[in-house]
Each structure stands twice: as C-alpha cells, then as structure tokens.
C-alpha cells in the first residue's frame, strides 16, 4: 500500500475513531444509565466495545474501498452518505448519554438506520463487497434501534 493510500485509510479510520471516542466523553454505562429500567435483552456492557471496534474497522474499509473504486456516478453520493452516517453515528451518543434524551436518540438512530440502508444500496453500485461489509453494521444498528426504543418505552 503506498503512502497516499495509507493516509487515506487512516483518515477514514480516524473519522470512525472520533465517532467511537464520543463514548469516552459521556458517562456511558454510568449511574444515570444504570438507573434506567433495562430491557431484558440489554447486552452486558463489555459487548459494546469489541462489537463497535470491529464495525468501525469495517466502516473505514468501506470508505477506503469506495474512494479507490473505479470512477462511477455513484461514487460521490456513496462517500457523501458515508459521511452522513458517521456524523449521525457520532451524534447519537451525546444525545442518549449526554442530553439523556431517549426520544431524541431514537430519532437520530432512526435516521442513521435509513442512511445505512441507502448507503448499502448506493455502495452496491460502486463496490459489491463494500455493500456486504456494511450488513453487520446495519444488523447491529437495527438491534440498537430496538434497544433504544425499549429504553424509551420503559423510561417515560
């Protein structure tokens, strides 16, 4: 991998790192979260770190592959949607844990879910393998959306 391509990958991975680091700023799993009525299917806290680490690596690989894919009219929309999903992903944590706004977080994660669906469809036009790499992300955000909804429902 040449230096330019390495720098490109690291820039995309840094973007995912910013999204991940928002969890360090807020009291994720702290007293407020522990005081909430927990859905019965809430995973243990230790699950989130490994899952997100793998997903963020895959998300960065997708952006890298799109950036270096053959030119197509779908390439720029795919990168724009990638940027939108990482922004929405980054914003969810401060809304849920910082503002303690379960309903607002539900709106953000809903928008994130729709964005990921469209991103997968558009990315498929650019690089089919990258679209497949996004499926675990969609599955996890689907689960997280249900979990967010359950928290909102159980904690009016």
The CATH number given to whatever domain includes residue 52 is: 1.20.1260.100
Cβ(68)–Cβ(74) under 8 Å? no
Report which DSSP code applies to 43: P
Q: Give the pLDDT confidence of 9-27 residue by residue, as tens digits.
A: 878 888 888 877 776 777 7
Maximum pairwise Cα distance, the chain = 53
CA atoms of 19 and 21, how far apart (whole Å): 6
Q: Total domain count for the chain? A: 1
Q: pTM to 2 decimals?
A: 0.92
Cα angle 29-144-44, degrees, rounded to a multiple of 5: 40
Show the domain range for 77: 3-154
Q: What is the band of 1 on the pLDDT scale with cuts at 50, 70, 90?
A: low
Ramachandran angles phi, psi of 133, nearest 5°: -65, -25
Give residue 137's pLDDT. Answer: 98
Q: How confident is residue 150, by pLDDT bands cut at 50, 70 and 90?
A: very high
Distance CA 36, CA 81 (A): 33
Check residue 15 and give its pLDDT.
Answer: 84
Q: What is the mean pLDDT of residues 98-111?
A: 97
């Amino acid at each position: 991998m040449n230096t330019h391509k390495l720098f490109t990958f690291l820039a995309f991975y840094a973007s995912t790192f910013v999204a991940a680091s928002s969890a360090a700023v807020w009291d994720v799993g702290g007293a407020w979260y522990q005081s909430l009525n927990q859905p019965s299917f809430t995973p243990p806290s230790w699950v989130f770190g490994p899952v997100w680490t793998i997903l963020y690596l895959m998300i960065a690989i997708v952006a890298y592959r799109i950036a270096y894919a053959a030119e197509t009219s779908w390439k720029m929309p795919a990168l724009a949607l990638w940027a939108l999903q990482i922004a929405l992903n980054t914003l969810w944590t401060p809304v849920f844990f910082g503002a303690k706004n379960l309903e607002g977080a539900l709106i953000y994660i809903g928008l994130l879910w729709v964005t990921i669906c469209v991103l997968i469809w558009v990315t498929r036009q650019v690089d089919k393998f990258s679209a497949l790499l996004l499926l675990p992300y969609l599955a996890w955000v689907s689960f997280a959306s249900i979990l967010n909804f359950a928290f909102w429902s159980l904690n009016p």
